[in-house]
Structure 1
């Protein structure tokens, strides 16, 4: 049989080293699906329950695997379903390639069934590169450019292939006018470093400071050793943006943890009191959590010059790879002899972890969600991959979970979409089938799509050399983050009709699929439940009955936020008594810890 365009597309993906394609079938991609059958499932097709999950799984695969994620969808509705996951990739700077079907070329423009103007649809989300093929000779260049640009720009790209074209005989581009050839597959990121004069200027700023703070984001992930060396020389404390949580381990005494609304008190104090700020690989947008304007001199390092100087008035702007630029900077830094600032930072960090432990022990009805995360921290395998969904789970993930060793973790940092936690973990397992994965999700996200993706986990977990994938569900029958946002940001009481969720037996559903299902409804059962889930030899669901009245309010909450919560209670919040009592008990642990 002659090689079709569908056959060639898969061949070119294999040439690029693509091992998995996350997708869902449909007649708009029949030519590619048939080609997968002829190719002995290479690259391997991973069938999700919904195209949005395919995109999220490709994002999770790329985030944890460090490679491009590829997703596949049919025309019309299938293509539309990809958008949320692709926007997640765009906003978090993740390389993902979407291959999408389209109605036959002869029908385009005729209001045919499932015909959508796909180039216009993907124009924003795949703005780095979106093209539709019309003849076979285009394919080498289109596939290669989509992959190369996704990797170079750290962005989603899209190739649209009409259904009839997929089944045509493939013909390569000729050595002819208006034919565009392509080259050998592969992409190597260039090593860049800021100019020497800018590095020297940055060193002068950092050497002049006596209270240095470092903020790292995901762009510093490959510069762990260099960041640690700069912190030691300057006596700095290091705070982490949400996507940079796994850049440095939390057992370093000067790492203050997350910053921002989901951040820790020592990070807040670090930014409040520092006189010098070094930002490495972060585009953290909430400038109100950075030092007051004029109170600190600042230096920024970022590989993308478009992101420089956007969030804080920086004096030295170093465009270049974080590790390379820091290596050039280190010999110019003078060791800090006065370590009083470092001792202050480390004292704040010690008090913080004492506070976290005390808050995790606050009585709740029935389980304090912070204890769920505190108990997990002590049991996490050193090579664990952790995902968190948007919602109150993200608060506890950011503030209470202690990373160490080679742990990796991520969530939907910029889009902050719900429903990413479980498919991210599935993508992570295909990237590293020999490492355990843990998804921390609220019951709202679990009902949105997590339950369906348990079916995907059941289908594929035998392909993973380490079968451990634990989904912990914060079961409180409440869209808890929004409930607290209503209280803290507008002084509005909980609106039951929008916030309450149906009661679902998550563990029982897992057991019905042949997975491990564990119910937890008392605090002393949390530790044994984690141990059972991590040793049972198959994927597991922890169905944990957590208390919705434990407040995810940051320890540095502003007066206006506290006043709004009080107003919501006065206005008749249905959970007023529990909110007031448990909120005061939680806050009291912080005050007691600071006094000690």
Structure 2
């Protein structure tokens, strides 16, 4: 009977599942698996990262961009621990990821051996499925179950594999199960549809809030909005579901959103939530009839009280509602929202045209808009840069990836690496602040090594600027936010990429055009104004009062007030 090693069979099964690359760093407790990958390197590429966190973040971003399984690896102990941040990003954004963690050999487990860590407990909270493999025969079935769980539950599966297991021979057909999973389309109950239609028929000022669960339903979403004469507000993960410049789109909501969206929510008498469990409920209507559509029933009413829950696929559910709704509101509410949006966009345009120095970050985003293709991949880091991109970049058909729920600094560059691998023929940009970029900048050499032509745009203000603003809004003096930055353009050159340093507004667009034409990994180091605050779309009294307290503290420097002589 033909036998192969468990490690080799594992790679065959990964390929059967459609996995074509793995992020990781070799090490002693996964070296046997690395050898198995080497044998199939023409079908399964090993992407060597410089830090396992970058590999996990890239795997999560790949899953978010494509819907396919992202796969990452780490050795026992430190390598597995390094994976955690990226895995939590995948967990919170509900992205299917498989993490393969090495472990000490089975006869050494429980002896406090070198690099032995209780990995089962380490991954307990982050994983929808976690299993320590204890025999070669067990591995194939467990691998299939782990991948199926990651897809079905949209989360992280973890396989902990002691170093000796992949070496053992196993019969090719031993405990092999099916390498596929089956999906179904969920539909709401008819009685819930009827309740929703009754509310929708009475709505005079309806507003739609759409999230990432509405991806793939853009045509039915727009048709429903037109029938209801309802403006559409987008959550940050939902950015790009419909074009930002569509006449029904009011943009985002919350601290990163637009003023017209905030006003619309304040005036709405009916809220229709589609594929979102929006957490910042203070921006939602205080009094409005609410309908929530979500494929996952556990998300309905989870954070905000709803009158009707529709547990179903967004596309199918919206179509079902459209067949029955007979709303006849006159559209005046929608027209008022559109007028507000025109005024808001005029203000944004004025900010984007500011020619002062240091360069305004809004101007950087406008320049990016001019060079980015309609199908470009945009990997956005966390911080002030998120605000500028959310407000000032108008999505058409681009793909937008971010650490949404975990909001972890450093996600921009790994996301762009994943974007280049997923879509090798498309433009890929990483849009980062200087704080976020420096967290993962060592993996710029990964982009160079694998010839990934990403363009990293670094908004360099020598500050953790969003935290500076948060401190000021709290009424505190700024503290601990200054950064000592290198010249990122020179760093790109040293790594084997191409660097551009931009300090004047007129240098910005030429640098972007040149970087795109290089077809090499590039960094554009843009010196931007550190004092340009990402002010909320609508400032509350508390925020204004806090900022006033901050200004007094800055002026008197807390305890340094000198009494005048008598």
Shorter chain as denominator, the TM-score bin is over 0.9
Q: Matches of 1:532 and 1:514 in 2, distance apart?
A: 16
The 2-side partners of 1:134 and 1:171 are apart by 16
2:285 to 266, 269, 291: 291
Match of 1:440 in 2: 431
Q: Secondary structure at the match of 1:571?
A: helix
Relative to structure 2, which stretch is displaced further, 532-541 or 422-431?
Answer: 532-541
Q: 1:382-393 residue pairs with structure 2 within 5 A?
A: 382-393=374-385
Query: TM-score normalised to the size of structure 2?
Result: 0.96
Maintained 8 Å contact 2:211/2:235: yes
Is 1:169 equivalent to 2:169 in the alignment?
A: yes
SS in 2 for 1:45: strand
The partner residue of 1:356 within 320, 323, 348 is: 348
Q: Distance in 2 between matches of 1:311 and 1:76?
A: 37
Equivalent in the alignment of 1:240: 234
Q: For 2:458, what is the secondary structure of its paired residue?
A: strand
Q: How does 1:375-524 map to 2 (within 5 A)?
A: 375-404=367-396, 406-449=397-440, 451-461=441-451, 467=453, 469-488=454-473, 490-495=474-479, 498-524=480-506
Q: CA deviation at 1:362?
A: 4.0
Instruction: Give, in whole Å, the separation in 2 of the partners of 1:503 and 1:192.
Output: 51
Displacement of 1:413 in angstroms is 0.6
Match of 2:211 in 1: 217
Matches of 2:478 and 2:134, distance apart in 1: 53
Q: 2:360 aligns with which of 368, 376, 382?
A: 368
Distance 1:431 1:299 in 2: 36
Given candidates 248, 252, 257, the residue that maps to 2:251 is: 257
Conserved 8 A contact 2:49-2:446:
yes
Post-superposition CA distance 1:415-474 (Å, at most 9, x none): 11100000011111111111111111011112111x211101101126xxxx3x111001
Length-normalised TM-score, structure 1: 0.91
Query: Unaligned regions of 5+ residues in structure 1, if any?
Result: 175-180, 576-596
Distance in 1 (CA, whole Å) between partners of 2:520 and 2:351 is 32
SS in 1 for 2:215: helix
Q: 1:159 and 2:159 equivalent?
A: yes
> Helix, strand or coil for the counterpart of 1:282?
coil
Contact 1:494 1:574 in 2 (8 A): no
Assess if the C-alpha contact under 8 Å between 1:71 and 1:99 holds in 2: yes
* Gap change, CA 1:573 and 1:173, over 3 Å in 2: farther
Aligned to 2:24: 23
Matched-pair contact (CA < 8 Å) for 1:75–1:102: yes
Structure 2 residue matching 1:461: 3-state secondary structure? coil
| Runs of 4+, deviation exceeding 3 Å | 171-174, 361-365
**Per-residue CA distance 1:275-305 (angstroms, 9 max, x = gap):** 110000001101100001xx21010000111
Kindly state the Cα deviation for residue 513 of structure 1 after the two structures are TM-superposed. Answer: 2.6
Deviation for aligned residue 1:253: 1.4
Cα distance in 1, alignment partners of residues 356 and 327 from structure 2? 48
Cα-Cα RMSD? 1.7
The residue number in structure 2 matching 1:147 is 147
Distance 1:31 1:394 in 2: 41
Query: Is the CA contact 1:32–1:166 (under 8 Å) kept in the aligned structure 2?
Result: yes
Q: Is the 8 A contact 1:217 1:241 kept in 2?
A: yes
Aligned-pair distance for 1:2? 5.3
- Provide the residue aligned with 1:315 in structure 2: 307
The answer to whether the 8 A contact 1:493-1:574 is kept is: no
Aligned equivalents of 1:538, 1:39: Cα separation in 2: 27
- Counterpart of 2:511 in structure 1 is 529
1:16, 1:412 → 2: CA distance?
26
CA shift in 2, pair 1:361/1:569, >3 Å: farther
Distance 1:205 1:438 in 2: 43
Map of 1:45 onto structure 2: 46
Matches within 5 A, 1:120-135: 120-126=121-127, 128-135=128-135
Alpha-carbon separation, structure 1, partners of 2:211 and 2:466: 24
User: 1:38–1:573: structure 2 CA closer, same or farther, 3 Å change rule?
Assistant: farther
Question: Residue 89 in 1 paired to residue 86 in 2?
Answer: no
Q: Report Cα offsets for 1:213-258 as digits up to 9, x if no partner.
A: 0001111011100110011000111111111112111010121111
Aligned partners of 2:204 and 2:329 also within 8 Å: no
- Corresponding residue for 2:103? 102
How far the C-alpha of 1:514 sits from its partner, in A, is: 2.9
Asked if the contact 2:6/2:137 (under 8 Å) is kept, the reply is no
Residue 503 of structure 1: CA displacement?
2.5
| Aligned residues of 1:387 and 1:421 also touching (Cα < 8 A) | yes
User: 1:19-56, CA deviations, whole angstroms, 9 ceiling, x for partnerless residues?
Assistant: 11111111110110111122235311111110000101
1:203 aligns with 2:187: no
Structure 2 unaligned runs (5+)?
A: 558-566
- The whole-number CA distance in structure 1 between the counterparts of 2:420 and 2:198 is 45
Q: Secondary structure at the match of 1:115?
A: coil
Other-structure match for 1:558? 540
